[in-house]
Structure 1
Amino acid sequence: MQQLALQRYGPHTADTVVRWRELIDQLKPLPDIEKLARVNTFFNQLVRWRQDIDIWQQHDYWATPLETMARREGDCEDFSIAKYMTLLLAGVEVDKMRITYVKAQVGPDSNANQAHMVLAYYDSGSADPLILDNMITELRPASRRPDLKPVFSFNSQGLWVGTAAAPASKDPAARLSRWRELLQRMAADGLD
């Protein structure tokens, strides 16, 4: 991936990929909670939030971790995807993580909601998940994030609706075309 980063984006991105790979290697022996905190911090410090239309000239584009590291900017989906893939590579079990589409309450008006995406980590199947977010950098349990209302969540193994314990589908790529396209682009980036 470092060679690919150098060819596509130049030495600055290749150096970032080296730092990212070093982070992954350092994380492997650590407990999950430490992995979560360090990955959340890494991407929240590296990447500046911007809308897809400004970065990609598209209304909704899901960037690969390499694309996000190259641009050093992304929207909430890009943060969540990069954190998810990094934690997978660092040894966090896939069934403990879900990329979660939420309605986020913005401002003092409780009726003002916007689409947002976060990464949820479940220590056990029925646990209150920890939320990795680019807007609030502190890891917090979902019970301390009343501003977020889950709509659906997914990972490589399933798609869940709302806060359901059982997946509605075991093939998220069949229902989420952007996820399917992203998986293909990540494979081309060497992340399969």
Structure 2
Amino acid sequence: MKLCLSILTPRSRICRVLALLAAATLLLSLAHAVGFDAGKLMNAITQRFGAASAQKLRDWQKLVTETRDIASPEQKLHKANEFFNRRIQFTEDTEAWKQSDYWATPMETLGHGKGDCEDFAIAKYFTLLASGVEMSQLRLIYVKAKIGGAASNITQAHMVLAYYSSADAEPQILDNLVGDILPASRRQDLSPVFSFNSQGIWAGTTAGGSNKSTGTNRLSRWQELLTRARMEGFE
């Protein structure tokens, strides 16, 4: 294959166009493979949170690109968990969004730099999907968390993300309150109420899904979030 010349002859112009098309095709393929429109997301985050937020999105895109090439699911989980636990400041919805209960999209969480337990879990969920983890292996779990440890009688609503290596495997729990990713059996402070992903809602946490609902339409806040995320550039 001959190299394109720098002089803008008709032939070199064709070479330049072909090179640009090839580069654009590669970028579009990458964005499609990881489940988001990079340009659309960048426009959304900068318009809403200003030019300074662009670097936050670039850092996230770098994370996704790097983790897609990692074969180990455990490493994917660790990197996604660490990324958000370190970068996002835990803040209640009433302060962060001036609402009593608001589920932020990953773009909103990144741009604002703040969020509560739902926002952490949802951002990690989208990130792991973009990194190549199967949706069937991920569940957002609404739990009652014992404040102060497993022996406490004080509980509050909380949300975590669970990863299942197989349908009958014990889930691994990603939590913004606990840095380590631990198996569910070591999280005696959590009592699951229901779990869900983009495919459905389950009364329990078993990955087999025998008690799966007809869909996620019962969870209107989740449906609204998915709609907003698609408008921002997630696929």
With the shorter chain as reference, the TM-score category is over 0.9
Higher strand fraction: Structure 1 or Structure 2? Answer: 1
CA drift of 1:82 comes to 0.2
Q: Which residue of 2 aligns with 1:8?
A: 48
**Residue of structure 2 equivalent to 1:185:** 228
Q: 1:61 aligns with which of 76, 96, 102?
A: 102
Distance (whole Å) between structure 1 residues aligned to residue 104 and residue 170 of structure 2: 28
TM-score (norm 2): 0.79
Are the equivalent residues in 2 in contact too, given 1:158–1:170 (CA < 8 A)?
A: yes
Q: Which residue of 2 aligns with 1:20?
A: 60
Check conservation: 1:157, 1:170, Cα contact below 8 A. Answer: no
Q: Aligned match of 1:85 in 113, 126, 131?
A: 126
Alignment gaps of 5+ in structure 2: 1-40
Residue equivalent to 1:129: 171
The amino acid across from 1:50 in the alignment is T
Cα displacement (A) at 1:124 = 0.6
Unaligned runs of 5+ in 1: none
Give 1:63 shift: 0.1
Stretch of structure 1 that moved more, 154-163 or 86-95: 154-163
**Computing the radius of gyration over CA atoms, which structure comes out larger, 1 or 2?**
2
| CA apart distance, 1:11 | 1.9
Q: What amino acid is the match of 2:221? A: R
Output the aligned Cα RMSD: 1.2
- What displacement does 1:170 show? 4.0
Q: Distance in 2 between matches of 1:28 and 1:163?
A: 26
In 2: Cα distance, 1:170 partner to 1:4 partner: 32
How far did residue 140 of structure 1 move? Answer: 0.4
1:16 is paired with a residue whose SS is helix
Does structure 1 conserve the Cα–Cα contact (< 8 Å) formed by 2:141 and 2:194? yes
Whether 1:51 and 2:92 are equivalent positions in the alignment is yes
Deviations 1:74-124 (Å, cap 9, x if unpaired)?
000000000000100110000000000000001265221100000000001
Match of 1:161 in 2: 203
User: Does the alignment pair 1:141 with 2:141?
Assistant: no
Matched residue, 2:18: none
After superposition, residues 99-118 of structure 1 pair within 5 angstroms as 99-107=140-148, 110-118=152-160
Identity among equivalent positions (%) equals: 49
